[in-house]
Amino acid sequence: MNENARRSTGDINTRGEKVMSGRVPLMAAGNRRALGDVSNQLGGQATRQAGKEGVKENASESLSDMSTLLNNFREKTQRAGLGGVAKWGRTSTRTSHTRPRDISNATGGTMTTRTGEPASKRESYTQYIQGRAAAEIPDIDACDRENPLAVTEYVNDIFSYWFRVEPDTQVAPNYMLIQTDINDKMRAILIDWLVEVHLKFKLMPETLFLTHNLIDRFLSKKVVTRKNLQLVGVTAMLLASKYEEIWAPEVRDFVYISDKAYTREQILDMEKQMLNTLGFHLTVPTPYQFLSRFYKAAGADKQFQLLASFIVESSLPDYSMLKFPASLTAAAATYVAMKTLGKGEWNDVMVAHTRYTEADIRPCANAMARLQRKSATASLSAVHKKYSNPKFMEVARLPAPAGLGEEN
């Protein structure tokens, strides 16, 4: 099911290239054997294969780039008053009351899972569809009927499935209440750094969004110390890379990029903990899956797709955005991109495919427009720098749309 979902439409990848969802252009890989060199077993193959970028053995340029990433990570923690990474494990006496580990006690026995969405959303959407039953909705898949990779026979079932399972995979927006040694600011710094790592390794967009999902789902179930927060991050990206990539970075790459703060054995042990905690459930809907469908409904060109990707990636470090479901996040990013470029309207086609009316997405769109407007001056600027590059058509430099995100 996940494979078909990734194949359904074409997208722009992190390198600014047109590819089918879930597919990466073939790269020069020398004599590397598929599946033969991606083992993480202890004592495994130690030879570096050609074609792997961003690792210690390559060249002085890679060493310089990795040092820059690590220095950026340290500077952000220091500016935030959190101390260096090495100090994250040194806890001092807490002056405030320790927040409860049992989240049922902290929240009165319940956790909010879909705040921001009207309680009657499902009913109102059903009424809307019934009221528009006689209307003619264009078939956005008509042009792909002869393309077997577009799986047009199943695409509606695929996205119906994503919408159905979405509530089960969304984390509670107040899950930080169970954590006693980390906070949302530390989480934001970690994700901002991982955006840089993701770009350095030239990974697929799906990998970044799955990494983000794995981190939040794990932190919502396990209490983690500051010392191990970065370990959770690199392990989540390792797992996401294995799931999404053809040539996944190896464990040694993540050992090096974390400045050897963790050993190979620690990463492999965290990998087992994470998989067991999440029940080996890695097939989850993320904003990226929904974006691929919404692009098609909106008739998005390359600039539109890159802008929407910038907007939704800007929301990843922001803890407050967790209250919005993945599908709503993707729909709001599409809406903000429409308003920014002045292309298209939120018409019946968009409502039919996103399952959200303009009124439904307005709160999330306002929050995203505020992030878009502040991105140039934000202290965590990895996403803005990424999309300010000409390779991404410098979409981060476009002004936020008037009338969105300006409310107090």
Q: Could you tell me what percentage of the chain is helix, strand and coil, using 3-state DSSP and rounding each to the nearest 5?
A: 55, 0, 45
**Do residues 259 and 353 both lie within one domain?**
no
Q: Is residue 76 in a domain?
A: yes
Task: Say whether both 315 and 265 belong to one domain.
Answer: no
Question: Look-up: residue for tokens 């600039």?
Answer: 303
Report how far residue 358's alpha carbon sits from residue 56's, in angstroms, rounded to the nearest whole number. 49
Return d(Cα 318, Cα 327) in angstroms, integer.
17
Do 272 and 338 share a domain, yes or no?
Answer: no
Residue 130 maps to a domain: no
Q: What is the DSSP letter of 403?
A: T
Same domain, 293 and 258: no
Query: Do 264 and 292 reside in the same domain of the chain?
Result: no
Lookup: tokens for 55: 């690792």
Query: Of the spans 25-39, 41-55, 152-166, which averages the highest pLDDT?
Result: 152-166
- Mean pLDDT within 391-406: 91
Using CA atoms, how far residue 360 sits from 134, 160, 162, 315, 365, in Å, is 23, 19, 19, 18, 9
Please check whether residue 48 lies inside any domain of the structure. no
Non-local (6+) Cβ contacts of 92 within 8 A are none
Verify that 292 and 271 share a domain, yes or no. no
Query: Is a pLDDT exceeding 60 seen at residue 13?
Result: no
Please state, in angstroms and rounded to a whole number, the distance separating the CA atoms of residues 8 and 162: 13
Tokens 């009913």 sit on residue: 123
Same domain, 177 and 217: yes
Given a cut of 80, whether residue 83 has pLDDT beyond it is no
Question: pLDDT value at position 121?
Answer: 52
Does residue 272 share a domain with residue 323? Answer: no
Q: What is the mean pLDDT of residues 91-108?
A: 43
φ/ψ of 252, rounded to 5, equals: -60, -30
pLDDT in the model for residue 122? 53
pLDDT score recorded for residue 30: 46
Structural domains of the chain, count: 2
Predicted confidence at residue 80, as pLDDT, reads 63
Helices (H), 97-154: 103-106, 121-131
The larger pLDDT score, comparing residue 261 to residue 113, is at 261
Considering the domain architecture, whether residues 308 and 353 belong to the same structural domain is answered as: yes
Closest CA relative to residue 384, chosen from 310, 329, 334: 310
pLDDT at residue 25, as a whole number: 42
CB 226 within 8 A of CB 89: yes
Is residue 180 situated within a structural domain?
A: yes
The tens digit of pLDDT for each residue in 117-175 reads 555 555 566 555 555 544 578 888 888 888 888 888 899 999 999 999 999 999 999 99
Query: For residue 266, is it within any domain?
Result: yes
Query: End of a domain among 230, 252, 277?
Result: 277
> Is residue 7 situated within a structural domain?
no
- The domain boundary residue, chosen from 245, 277, 309: 277
Residue 161's pLDDT is: 95
State percent of the chain over pLDDT 90.
Answer: 60
Residue range 255-312, pLDDT digits in tens: 999 999 999 999 999 999 999 999 999 999 999 999 999 999 999 999 999 999 999 9
Residues 246 and 317 in one domain: no
- The CB-side HSE value for 243 (13 A sphere, CA atoms) comes to 24
50 found inside a domain: no
Confidence (pLDDT) at 81: 60
Rounded to 10 degrees, what is the CA torsion of 288, 289, 291, 293?
160
Assign residue 330 the CATH number of its domain.
1.10.472.10
**What per-residue confidence (pLDDT) applies to 136?**
74
- Write down the pLDDT at residue 114: 47
Q: What is the pLDDT of residue 73?
A: 74
pLDDT at 75 over 90: no
Mean pLDDT of 355-375: 96
User: pLDDT tens digits, residue range 172-225?
Assistant: 999 999 999 999 999 999 999 999 999 999 999 999 999 999 999 999 999 999
Last residue of a domain, one of 277, 302, 328: 277
Structural domain contains residue 163: no
Calculate mean pLDDT across residues 80-96.
Answer: 51
Tell me: do 301 and 327 sit in the same domain.
Answer: yes
What's at 393, amino acid-wise? Answer: M
* Residue 141 pLDDT: 86
Domain residues for the domain of 364 are 287-397
Residues 307 and 364 in one domain: yes
pLDDT at 125: 60
**Looking at 52-66, 174-188, 346-360, 388-402, which range is the least confident one?**
52-66
Residues 6 or more apart whose CB falls under 8 angstroms from that of 295 comprise: 9, 11, 304, 305, 308, 334
pLDDT computed for residue 84 by the predictor = 52
